[in-house]
Amino acid sequence: MPPASPQMAETTSWLTGPAAVDLKHVTHTFRSLDRSTVTALSEIDLEVRRTEFVSIIGPSGCGKSTILRLISGLLKPSSGAVSVFGLPVTEPRDDIALVFQRPTLLPWLNVIDNVTFPEKHKTGRVSKETSAGALEILEMVGLQDFLRKRPSELSGGMQQRVAIARALLQDPDILLMDEPFSALDALTRDELSVELLDILVRRPKTVVFVTHSIQEALLLSDRIVVMSPRPGKITENIVVPLPRPRGLNSMLDPVFSEMTSEIRSKVFTRARH
Ligand code: ADP
């Protein structure tokens, strides 16, 4: 049925338009130079709606990072189809940003120059708009007093904030995050999770987030996808019913602890098989 008004079409387009990310029957096999093969993913079907936050949980080596590389256009699937906003992914796109476990900053550049580096690299200069945007985003992640510091002068959490700021400055529609907080201590992890929730309220984005932490996934996600050991398949698709806005208090909700146990049993049952 067509929408009753343009406004309604606008507000419901995330439901009716193409998915932000769509993997259909995706299988991926890596071939090494010695001709051995590793089938990392088998028959993956995954649809992520616009502004949805989906976490992927599964044992090491089950193909989580491979999924992110396929979505980002860094890899092509051996079979099946990967599309973004309804179009096949053929190469890396400007509207997708990646954040890795390690912040991958340039050690000789200060914070602001690291954040604006992608534009400098692409165009040879940094526009006034980009500089202003960088300042705004660095303030959002609490680094306004560290603009001229080099990465070696920052804590691990601060370095990861710089990497997140660099990704956000690209203003991507889709943010792919590969265990972005796993190298950090527990307190900093919680702090960064809450900051990410806050940023996404202000700048909604579609997020695909790889993590080993069930609690982190529950705190952040609309949906959690559980994978089996290699070759990775999706074994569970779990909608997180916790209300938003969320914060650390959400962890006190009885649903949070019930779901933590439920997901833990699913992850471990699968890992044993
Ligand atoms: P995860 O992120 O779940 O830990 P990955 O997606 O990194 O898993 O890897 C899935 C499987 O594919 C692993 O067995 C890994 O060794 C293998 N793999 C990943 N990248 C390559 C590659 N470039 N060449 C060969 N094998 C690879």
Q: Select from 171, 188, 211 the last residue of a domain.
A: 171
CB 177 within 8 Å of CB 209: yes
65 in ligand 1 pocket by Cβ < 6 Å?
A: yes
Query: What is the C-alpha end-to-end distance of the chain, expressed in Å?
Result: 45
Same domain, 86 and 186: yes
Phi/psi at 155 (nearest 5 deg)? -75, 170
Structure tokens at 187: 């307190």
66 in ligand 1 pocket by Cβ < 6 Å?
A: yes
When divided into structural domains, the chain yields a total of 2
Q: How far apart are alpha carbons 40 and 47 in whole angstroms?
A: 19
Same domain, 54 and 78: yes
36 in ligand 1 pocket by Cβ < 6 Å?
A: no
- Residue 135: domain span: 102-171
61 in ligand 1 pocket by Cβ < 6 Å?
A: yes
Rounded to the nearest whole angstrom, what is the distance from the C-alpha of residue 88 to the centroid of ligand 1? Answer: 23
* pTM more than 0.75: yes
54-102 tens-digit pLDDT: 999 999 999 999 999 999 999 999 999 999 999 999 999 999 999 999 9
Rounded to the nearest whole angstrom, what is the distance from the C-alpha of residue 90 to the centroid of ligand 1? Answer: 21
217 in ligand 1 pocket by Cβ < 6 Å?
A: no
Q: Select from 126, 145, 171 the last residue of a domain.
A: 171
Low-confidence ranges of the chain (pLDDT < 70): 1-16, 269-273
Same domain, 121 and 186: no
Q: Select from 156, 171, 186 the last residue of a domain.
A: 171
Q: What is the pLDDT of residue 272?
A: 56
Same domain, 256 and 269: yes
